[in-house]
Amino acid sequence: MFVHGAAVWDVARPARPSRVAGVTMAGFRVRELNALRMVPHPAVTLLVEFGAGSPVVDYAAGRRQRGSIVAGAGLGSGGAVWARGENVECVQVRLSPVVARAVLGASPADFDGAVVALDDLWGRDASRIRERLGDVSSWEDRFALTDALLARRHESGPPVDPEVAWAWERIVGGRGLVRVDRLAAELGWSRKRLWSRFRSQVGLTPKRAVKLVRFDHAAHRLVAGQDAARVAADGGYADQSHLHRDVVSFTGVTPATVAGEPFLAVDDIAWTGQETPFGVEPG
């Protein structure tokens, strides 16, 4: 269970890792989800709802999406995306961008920064998995059903280029403290070629991926109560002002406000002990 102010969420984690490397899951049951700010994250998010209620995502100048959705890595920049709903029950899946294209059947770049209805991507697969999740009573059964579908789709879907996967893992392993020019040189590619392939298959430019991974580590350290000056120094920022600008750019709020965001605070319950889709545990 996750309690944050007046919010009370039931949270479940799978007992076993996914059969697909780069996939993690958590289950949520929330009676009242009140205006939750979506903080940008390095994973592609897949949300499958199955309960009586329905989540609502508001984003981009009044646009709205209901029900099961897919969102690309980094969604919510500037604090422009909010989720809400009543009696929400869902399985949330975090997909590494290097496996997302195979699992989803479309490149994250095709979303163009939008939230996409799962029905539009998966057709009958989307309605079928929702029905089956609603028919079973345990979270473990729900995780098993979801994982079986993801594994089947991953096996038949198109992979990303191995060079792109390698570059992503280098960015993740270096916690965003890598130079794009050096990645290209180590691959023997031009910077333009790396930029083009990476963007078309991952949905982010390499530079944006570097900034997003670095921000994510910094944000979780702020949530853990660490001093902003130390977070900036250890995280590769020029100074605390640089960290402040980056946090505001990604979230629309200050580092002090980000430290209390429930979207980030729940990670320690929902995802602890799992290999996260971008290679490291939160915190």
pLDDT in tens, 173-222: 999 999 999 999 999 999 999 999 999 999 999 999 999 999 999 999 99
At residue 9, the pLDDT reads 86
Query: Rounded distance, CA 117 to CA 113, Å?
Result: 13
Domain-embedded: residue 283? no
- Is residue 183 within 8 A of residue 170, CB to CB? The reply is yes
pLDDT in tens, 229-264: 999 999 999 999 999 999 999 999 999 999 988 888
**Are 169 and 256 members of one domain?**
yes
Query: Rounded distance, CA 220 to CA 187, Å?
Result: 31
Domain-embedded: residue 208? yes
**Are 27 and 53 members of one domain?**
yes
Q: Is a pLDDT exceeding 80 seen at residue 274? A: no
Q: Is a pLDDT exceeding 80 seen at residue 273? A: no
Query: Rounded distance, CA 125 to CA 212, Å?
Result: 31
At residue 193, the pLDDT reads 97
Domain-embedded: residue 26? yes
Strand-pairing partners, residue 36, are 83
Domain end call among 101, 122, 156: 156
Query: Rounded distance, CA 256 to CA 223, Å?
Result: 9
- Is residue 267 within 8 A of residue 260, CB to CB? The reply is no
Domain-embedded: residue 17? yes
Element (H, E) at 216: helix 206-223
**Are 213 and 125 members of one domain?**
no
At residue 243, the pLDDT reads 97
Domain end call among 156, 189, 217: 156
Domain-embedded: residue 209? yes
Look at the chain and report how many structural domains it folds into: 2
**Are 145 and 170 members of one domain?**
no
pLDDT in tens, 91-129: 999 999 999 999 999 999 998 778 999 999 999 999 999
**Are 132 and 167 members of one domain?**
no
**Are 228 and 118 members of one domain?**
no
Domain-embedded: residue 238? yes
Backbone φ, ψ for residue 57 (5° rounding): -115, 120
Sequence-separated (6 or more) residues with CB below 8 Å from residue 68: 47, 48, 49, 90, 117, 118, 119, 126, 130
184 CB-contact burial (10 Å; exposed 0-12 / middle 13-18 / buried 19+): buried
Domain hosting residue 14, numbered range: 2-156
**Are 152 and 123 members of one domain?**
yes
**Are 24 and 145 members of one domain?**
yes
Domain end call among 106, 134, 156: 156
Domain-embedded: residue 277? no
**Are 11 and 56 members of one domain?**
yes
**Are 140 and 173 members of one domain?**
no
Domain-embedded: residue 275? no
* Per-residue CA distances from 168 to 161, 212, 213 (Å): 11, 12, 10
- CATH number reported for the structural domain that contains residue 102 in this entry: 2.60.120
Q: Note the pTM of the prediction, 2 decimals.
A: 0.92
Task: Work out the mean pLDDT of the chain and round it to a whole number.
Answer: 91
**Are 110 and 199 members of one domain?**
no
